[in-house]
Amino acid sequence: MIAGAWLCLCAPLAGALAITGAGERISRRNAGWLSTASVFVAFGGAVWSFLGLRSHGSEHGVISTAWTWLESGKFHVGLSVLVDPLSTMMMLIVSGVGGLIVLYSIGYMDGDDEERRYFAYMSLFVFSMLLLVQGGNLLLLLAGWGLVGLSSYLLIGFWHERPSAVAAAKKAFVMNAIGDATMALAFFVLIAHSNSLEFTTSFATAGHLSSTTVNLVALGLLGGAAAKSAQIPLHTWLPDAMEGPTPVSALIHAATMVTAGVYLIARTHPIFEQARTVELVAAGMGALTLLVAGLIALVQVDIKRVIAYSTMSQIGYMFLGAGVGTYAGGMFHLMTHAFFKALLFMAAGLVIHALSGEQDIRKMRGIGTLMPWTRWAFLAGALALVGLPPFSGFFSKDAIIAAALHDHWYGVVLAVAALGGAFLTGLYTFRLYFIVFGHGQVSDAIDGSHHGEGPKTMLVPVGILAVLAVVGGWIQLSPWWHPVTSWLSPVAATLGVAEPPKSQEVLASVLAVALGLAGVALAYALYGQNRLAVPRLPGVQRALEHKLYFDEAYDALFFRPAAALAGVLRRDFEEPIVLASGPDLGEGALEAGAGVRRLQTGLLRTYVFFLGTGMAVLAIVFLAVR
Amino acid sequence: MTVSSFTTVLICLPLAGALAIWILPLSRYATGALALLVSLVEVGVWIEQAARFDFQRSGLQFAQHRTWISDLHVSYHVGEYAFSLWLVGLTVVAMAACVGYGFWVGRERPRAYFGLMLFLTGATVGVFVAQDLLLFYAFFEAMLIPLYVLIGVWGGAGRLGATIKLLIYTMAGSLLMLAALIVYGLKVGTFDLVAGPTSPSRWLFLGFMLAFVIKAPLFPFHGWLPDAYREAPPEVTAILSGVIAKAGTYGMLRIAIAKFPEPAHYYRTLILALAAAALVYGSILAFRAPDFRGVVAYSSMAQSGLIALGLFSGTTLGYDGAILQMVAHGLISVSLFLLAGTVERRTTTGQFALLGGMAKGRPALATLLLTTGILSLAVPGSASFAGEFLILAGSYQRAWWWAVIGAVAIVLAAMYMLRLISAVLHEARGSTVHDEALDLRTGELALIVPLVGVLLALSVWPDAISHHSFAGDMPTAVVQEQFK
Amino acid sequence: MIATPHVDWFAISTILVLLGSSGIALLGAVLVPRPWRRTFAATVAGLGSLGGIVTSIWLYVDSATGSRVISDSFYRDRWTALSQVILCAITLATVVLGKEHIVRLDDEHVAEFFALLLASAAGMTFFVGAANLMTLFLSLEWFSIALYVMCAIDYDIEGSLEAGLKYLIIGGFGSAGLLFGSALVYGATNRIGFVEIAQAVAQHGLSGDLLLVLGLALILAGLAFKMSAAPFHMWTPDVYTGAPTPVTAFMSSATKVAALVLSLRVLQTAFPQEAHLWTWALAVIAVASLVIGNLAALVQTDVKRLLAYSSISHAGFMLIGLSVGTALGARALVYYLIPYSAMAFGSFAIVAVRERELGTRVTLENLAGFGWERPFLGVAMWFFMFGFAGLPLGGGFIGKFYVLSAAYNHGWTWLVIVGVLATLVSLYYYLGVVRAIYMRPSSELALATGGSPARETLVNVAVGAALTVSVGSLVAVGPLITLAKHAAATLPF
Amino acid sequence: MLQGPGIVWYLGIAAFLFAIGALGVLIRRNPLIVLLSLEIMLNGGNLALIAFARHAGNGAGQIFALAVMAVAASEVCVGLGLVVALHRRRLAMDVDQLSELRG
Amino acid sequence: MILVWIVWVLAGFACLASAIAVVSFSNPFYSALSLIGNLGSLAVFYLLLSAEFVAAAQVMVYAGAVMVMFLFVIAYVGPRMETPWAGGPTWQSVGAVLAAGAIFLEIIVALGLKAGGRLKHSEHVHRTFGTPGWIGRLFLTDHLLAFEITSIVLLVAAVGGVILGSHTKRRTA
């Protein structure tokens, strides 16, 4: 079991190192296969751990420490992996979906100059993500947390000749660094109080902390989670991150990394439970994000950006779920979301690949007729996303809405937001679907550049994921059948308040499905059949197209002042004062020297005069002092 | 040869090598080869010493003691503590890499050059092992002598001004230290660092600290830094920032904190503020620096601030983190500056406006620069992260705001370092980047890859340093007892 | 029958050896044919100074307890002997340097030069042992007059005569002051012997006596003049620049040694009751020298002038050791003198080489590339400059440490601060020299014609010796301090 | 017993000589006159020595004075030699003109 | 007594006047001659102070030998007229007077304050005080070394004079 976990963790790292080290001695294609293999080995390891854990029957999982990673005084942190239900679930998702996406990349990246680098990065990412989920203590979790950010940076900026890609990569990293920093601060508090970052010790400590302190800790963790999961206000990097290759978007910015925030909340829920306020803030944040992202998604014309906003929105659901206490619900949605969102991205990738990189949905009209498989796959994903039964999204999303509804007035607000989100989801998803795959004139631009359906390496993973997107939700149909919840209960027991009665479940499901369908219908009317004119609200539209001016606001609030401050410091402090003060003093000394030098007239009488004066003064002083 | 003489060997071997190079009329190639050999042997000696080091035992090891000036109680007293062992290791490894770099690029006037490099090695090792104040001071100053010539002769166009600034600034500090150490030594009747008692004098503390804050440097004593780092040959800049600056922070720990506990306590907030200022200010300026070395230079200043933050937080985590960070940052900045050198050799410039797009077709350069840059911004999981984490966790225990400032600096570090990476490697090809500019050659790889390798190894096991810097579990106690 | 006093010939053997070889050299000026004259005189002078070293070492060994000899007018003790060793060593080095670098014209007056050199050295070796005001004054004039002539001996060089005349007149003024001061002290105490003066002051309660302190002021001024301490220093740059460089090398090292060593003896032996006056006065003079010497040196371009100002600032440093009036100060002074004189001599010797090679004054400009052309001399200059600056490349480092320690021990922390600040300022111009010899390409330099090819063998020996002493004194601090301690032990503290 | 004016009067003269000699050195430019002024200063010292010798009734002062005479003669000898050399080199007999070395 | 006083006043007057004359004549020739007068008047003082031998030496060595040397040189280089006070900055002339005046006043003040004290009563001296024989004895006993080195000083000066004064063929060009 433990060996499986280590295997799972190390295989992708070994893959990354092997590809890097081999350099040009390995062919591009083989690099791709090597990477794929390493991730599937990891999946094998994950399965091994899963089976082992099942038979082992351990309640809280097993920690295996390789060696002490960091130690100072009483504080010490091992390089250890944790195998427990939560981590195994994540391992399975990460390595499984990851393996499929890496496989898909072989086709997608075929022909790129730097395929090797790509696959090395991909393996590195999978390793980092596994470290994040397997890390046996908070510090290793943070290490994985940072490393996924790094891999994300590397992969977003993969096409580094594009300034926009580089800028997006930097933005993603910096935003994530903010999250890392707040998490680190939260850890400092824990260390100060318990000298430990072990999960159990820390959670136990949290119980003894004052409410302010524990709220601060939770807030720090939430900062990290929000940054990683692109929740408002730290969300602006995610749409830009679509500059990366599409499989990257599928893997990192849809299936795995961005959902790490949910994992973090689930993992550290004992702390959040001590800090209910913060937990509710998280839920509210999720609600806000899911609405805002849904709205923005309505007007985007870049296929990947639409899906990206949809991702933000769906993660908003997960946060909502975790925030109200149904950690398992959040995790369940995380899993199904991984399936269908990866699917959507990969289907979109097929289209983009077929169109040689074109991402503007207005130029894709009619592609569906040329790519039927892709179209079906996309449709499966879209339906899962909207959450219509029996597609996977239905089961997971409705559980969250139901849980939210259960809470008092705040819960109602959250549930209303979530239901609004369901409507929006239907609308923007099918707007996308109808524009891209709807019936219509195949645009001229497509004809010339179209490559047809992609290669098998791409279609097979898409197919598998399409199936998973359909059936993935069936493993849990709360409240009647809930293996996921039970599986996770030892580590992420759902809060009592989040245990919704059956009536609520039904109510939530009905409402959500109805609203989702309404959205789909509206989209059909607007875009599928063009029966209705898209309402003209230029102000709103412009605001949404500018993503509600978040970027502009951050630019004006943070970047510009900081840059200006740096400029001012440099121009008005560093150069004139710090750098010049030394030379100025030196100038002063030199001037004094020139003064002394002028005394040295070369005239004998001056010299004698000074000698005589010196004598006289010395004598006077001596006489006076004696 | 007894075990104790290892330390002396570490000092004298490079000095003897320098002498041999100056005296023997060797060819250009043979000179470089001899120098490299000597520095590699030096590394070997250090490894042997590290292997024999007893990390469980407190107190000085490999110590040697000879009377030097009897009537003032000055002695030749050298020896190593665990943390000095690491700093010595940093020195010898960094120097070997830099000597190798000089060999690789074929510096003009090789005999003078390599002699000076070896001399510098000996002097720097001396700083870290000296256990007598005057001896420490002598080595502290002796480092400047070769530096002055190395920068002044082999440096860039503005080298003359830069050298003068470097020397005057650092000497301004260290001469006041001389005054302070005279007063201390005569007052307590010995210059021995081990035997000497603590002193409550605030003036003396400030005298010592001034030298260290200039050398490190902390804000606002860094007036010498930008010019020196820009004008020096890259390998010398690497030493300056990777090793020499650490002498400043080492001095803070070994002398300022250990010998002046009461003043250190009294001025703690002031110094923490300076350190934090260095951290933030350096980061901000690094973000605006227009060239490769400018960024790394200011980031070094920021890192010195961070280390000082750890040391003066006065906590166990802070001390351990500071030592770890000294070593990690030392290796990082050596690698970065050597990389800056390789970039400059290919493009003749370090100006970002003229660079860009170097990653295309140069995978080795790109990979190494990226790796080092990422390590430098302390990505979680790296050795530098471990150091930074410990330092900030330690300073949090002093007061929460230091950790918050440090956290801000984490973000700033990401900003400037990514800016550097993309300005050099990414986006459109710069006007000075030609297709003929090759990827890193074998020689260069042989220098930088081991450094990065050590860093990665440390990232995998930072505990190698963090738990082996102070005997026992509580560095605070060890420092309070003055490492006895 | 007059009972002439017992003459302890051994006590003055060094002086006699030097004087004797001076005489032989002088005879050589007349008797030896011109082509051989230089070699002959230099050899005689070299042997003479070597002999002087031997006898003074012997004297050191054999004079564990100090005493006064020949009617109490000369000290036979280790203080004298140690200074004599230093002086003779400087003389020997000067002979080695001068063999090739003095008086180019037809070897005219070469033998006389060596004779004068030795005579002047003899005067100094006497001066350091003088035991009363009269022998002090006479031996001062003895070596001064020889120096006046040596400064002007190469009167074809521009400025040589000017230097000689300036030195003579200012020197005359200074000696007149010293004389009048001696007269006043004599008048106040009726004594001229140092010991007797102190005794008289103690017996008759003369401390603070008007004539005594007035005399002390004038004596102090006269001696400070010889040390070229500010504000009595103004002749120094001009004379050092104008004099033939070997003479400058000799003056800058030997004269300072003699003046400082003797001043300490006079002040400690004859005026211990007035210590409250002269310690402060010397401290102020030291500070003035440090300030003025260093500041003026900052703006010099002529290397000899620069070194001259540097010697003023070093006089300031050594005066710190003198001014504290303690045994530690005395040790510091003696110790400091050893590396200082080696470095001062060595640096001027190197200037002499460059001067000869260029046929013109050496400036920072035309030093360009020197370090690469003449690696050994370049390295030596490098060592000297850094050593002067107090960096640990030579005994100057320990010397500064020592005098500052002495100042602190005396309770003068402020003087320590002044000392380190002065060192800081000095760094700028010392580094300037290193910069000139190494960091400017020699292509910037248009070599003046008219220089003669350098003859380096002997110079290298002399510079090498100076280098060895200056570096060696860093390593062998212990033994040197022991010497200094024994030497200082003969003075009353 | 000293006849005539007391020792102090002699010393006053000596002081005056010393001062006037110093003044001469300070205000005259002809090196010859400067040398003469130096002689006056030395003579002032000599007078003081002899006066004190008489006052104390001990011989050291007189011996000292005699030695000073010799020294003065020596200085003059060298000084005049320099003046002659200056003359030969066709240099101006003016110490203010001798300011080649300065700064 | 009176006679002594008269002699003293005359000599004093001559001494002061000639000293002033030395520094004020513009012709060095006259200055030199004035110095002879000065030296002569000093010789008178020496006699009054029972320093017979010194007085004699003063006249012979100084006024005789040294001054003759001076006059020769002045004749050789030609008397060059020069006004006192001229040349150089004004502050220097003022400063010169101040410095010289200060030295003078200091000594006078010191003497004046002491005049009533110990300086008032001079010792009785033996008749031989200051005689050549007495001086000679001192030279050979108490001050043997001073005597010897005086001769060396003279020798050195002589050699120096020869070197500086000797006239050899100059290098052409």
CA pair distance A337, C345, nearest whole angstrom: 86
**CB burial of residue A409 (10 Å; 0-12, 13-18, 19+):** exposed
Judge B/D contact: 3 or more CB pairs < 8 A.
no
Pick from A195, A200, A215: nearest CA to A73:
A195
What single letter denotes the amino acid at residue E161? Answer: G
Tens digit of each residue's pLDDT (9 = 90 or more) over A91-149: 888 898 899 899 988 888 887 888 888 899 999 999 999 999 888 888 999 999 999 99
Tens digit of each residue's pLDDT (9 = 90 or more) over D56-99: 888 889 999 999 999 999 999 999 998 888 888 877 778 888 78
Cβ-based neighbours of A265, under 8 Å, separated by 6 or more: A221, A222, A225, A272, A279, A282, A319, A322, A323, A327, A330
Tell me whether residues C180 and D45 touch, CB distance under 8 A. yes
Match 């994921």 to its residue by tokens. A465
CA pair distance A256, A345, nearest whole angstrom: 13
The pLDDT of residue A500: 64
What single letter denotes the amino acid at residue C107? Answer: D
Tell me whether residues A586 and C428 touch, CB distance under 8 A. yes
CA pair distance C297, A592, nearest whole angstrom: 11
CA pair distance C224, A420, nearest whole angstrom: 98
Tell me whether residues E106 and A606 touch, CB distance under 8 A. no
Tell me whether residues E99 and A623 touch, CB distance under 8 A. no
Per the document, the length of chain A is 626
Q: Which of C201, C211, C218 to probe by mutation at the E interface, max E CB count within 10 Å? A: C211
For residues C157 and A383, the model is more confident at A383
Tell me whether residues A70 and B390 touch, CB distance under 8 A. yes
Quick one: tokens of C436?
Answer: 């000139």
Interchain contact B168–C (C-beta under 8 A): yes
Cα–chain center distance at B317: 20
| Residue A211 CB neighbours (<10 A) | 11
Closest CA of chain D from A603, distance in Å: 6
Pick from A95, A84, A165: nearest CA to A123:
A95
What single letter denotes the amino acid at residue B66? Answer: R
Per the document, the length of chain D is 103
The pLDDT of residue C335: 93
From first CA to last CA, the distance across chain C in angstroms is 41
Give A233's pLDDT tier (boundaries 50, 70, 90). confident
Interchain contact A609–E (C-beta under 8 A): yes
Residue A433 has pLDDT above 60, yes or no: yes
CA pair distance C181, A409, nearest whole angstrom: 106
Interchain contact C420–B (C-beta under 8 A): yes
Q: What angle do CA A10, A333, A330 make, to 5 degrees?
A: 90
Mean pLDDT confidence for A465-489: 75
The predicted complex's ipTM stands at 0.90
Give DSSP secondary structure letters for B16-40. HHHHHHHHS---HHHHHHHHHHHHH
Closest CA of chain D from C485, distance in Å: 34
Residues of chain B with pLDDT under 70: 1-3
Q: What angle do CA B32, B35, B39 make, to 5 degrees?
A: 140
Phi, psi dihedral angles at A411 (to 5 degrees): -60, -40
Closest CA of chain C from D69, distance in Å: 11
Chains adjacent to B (≥3 CB pairs closer than 8 angstroms) = A, C
Q: What is the DSSP letter of E16?
A: H
Mean pLDDT confidence for E30-46: 91
Closest CA of chain E from C71, distance in Å: 5
Tell me whether residues A614 and C428 touch, CB distance under 8 A. no
Question: Cis link prior to A479 (omega < 30° from 0)?
Answer: yes
Q: What is the DSSP letter of A81?
A: E
Tell me whether residues C169 and D79 touch, CB distance under 8 A. yes
Closest CA of chain D from E93, distance in Å: 6
* H-assigned helices in A499-603: 502-523, 538-545, 550-554, 560-568, 580-599
What single letter denotes the amino acid at residue C296? Answer: A
CA pair distance C169, B60, nearest whole angstrom: 63
Residue C461 has pLDDT above 80, yes or no: yes
CA pair distance A351, B346, nearest whole angstrom: 42
For A:491-550, CB contacts with B below 8 A are: none
What 3-state DSSP class applies to A300? coil
Residue A448 has pLDDT above 70, yes or no: no
Q: Which of left, alpha, beta for A478 (phi over 0: left; psi -120 to 50: alpha)?
A: beta
CA pair distance A333, B25, nearest whole angstrom: 76
Pick from A608, E56, C149, E105: nearest CA to D38:
A608
Closest CA of chain E from D53, distance in Å: 8
Pick from A508, A129, A520, A96: nearest CA to A321:
A508
What 3-state DSSP class applies to B238? helix
Give E65's pLDDT tier (boundaries 50, 70, 90). confident
Mean pLDDT confidence for C145-160: 85
CB A400 within 8 A of CB A318: yes
From first CA to last CA, the distance across chain B in angstroms is 25
Chains adjacent to C (≥3 CB pairs closer than 8 angstroms) = A, B, D, E
Element at B217 (helix H, strand E): none
Pick from A126, A247, A165, A28: nearest CA to B425:
A165
How high is the mean pLDDT of chain B?
90
Of all residues in chain A, the one with the smallest CA distance to D27 is A605
| Residue C482 CB neighbours (<10 A) | 14
Q: Which residues pair with A79 in a beta bridge?
A: A67
Among candidates D8, D32, D40 on the partner chain, residue whose Cβ is nearest the Cβ of E111: D8
For residue C174, what are the CA distances in angstroms to A571, A620, B314, C140, D50? 56, 17, 61, 11, 20
pTM across the whole model: 0.92
CB B379 within 8 A of CB A146: yes
Mean pLDDT confidence for A409-435: 86
Which residues on D lie below 8 Å from C73 (Cβ)? none
What 3-state DSSP class applies to C451? coil
The pLDDT of residue E11: 92
Residue E173 has pLDDT above 50, yes or no: no
What 3-state DSSP class applies to B194? coil
What 3-state DSSP class applies to C346? helix
Pick from A177, D49, A457, A61: nearest CA to C191:
D49
| Residue C310 CB neighbours (<10 A) | 26
CA pair distance C192, A188, nearest whole angstrom: 80
Quick one: tokens of D48?
Answer: 């003081």
Q: What is the DSSP letter of A210?
A: -
The pLDDT of residue C448: 47
For residues A485 and C392, the model is more confident at C392
Mean pLDDT confidence for A554-582: 83
What 3-state DSSP class applies to D88? helix
What 3-state DSSP class applies to C365? coil
Cα–chain center distance at A297: 18
The proportion of chain D whose per-residue pLDDT surpasses 70, expressed as a percent, equals: 98
Q: What angle do CA A238, A242, A248 make, to 5 degrees?
A: 100
Q: What is the DSSP letter of A547?
A: G
Q: Which of left, alpha, beta for E90 (phi over 0: left; psi -120 to 50: alpha)?
A: alpha
| Residue C23 CB neighbours (<10 A) | 16
CA pair distance C82, C87, nearest whole angstrom: 9
What single letter denotes the amino acid at residue B296? Answer: V
CA pair distance E111, E102, nearest whole angstrom: 14
Q: What is the DSSP letter of B168?
A: H
Q: What is the DSSP letter of A257?
A: G
Tens digit of each residue's pLDDT (9 = 90 or more) over E11-37: 999 999 999 999 888 888 899 999 999
The pLDDT of residue C455: 59
- What is the rounded (10 degree) CA torsion for A333, A334, A338, A340? 20
Phi, psi dihedral angles at A71 (to 5 degrees): -150, 135
Of all residues in chain D, the one with the smallest CA distance to A607 is D26
For residue C356, what are the CA distances in angstroms to A285, C107, C306, C455? 86, 15, 18, 9
Pick from A167, A179, A172, A135: nearest CA to A150:
A172
CA pair distance B182, C17, nearest whole angstrom: 43
What single letter denotes the amino acid at residue B85? Answer: L
Match 């292509």 to its residue by tokens. C443
Of all residues in chain E, the one with the smallest CA distance to A614 is E99
Tell me whether residues B223 and A582 touch, CB distance under 8 A. yes
Give A75's pLDDT tier (boundaries 50, 70, 90). confident
CB A91 within 8 A of CB A133: yes
Mean pLDDT confidence for A354-368: 78
CA pair distance B387, B310, nearest whole angstrom: 9
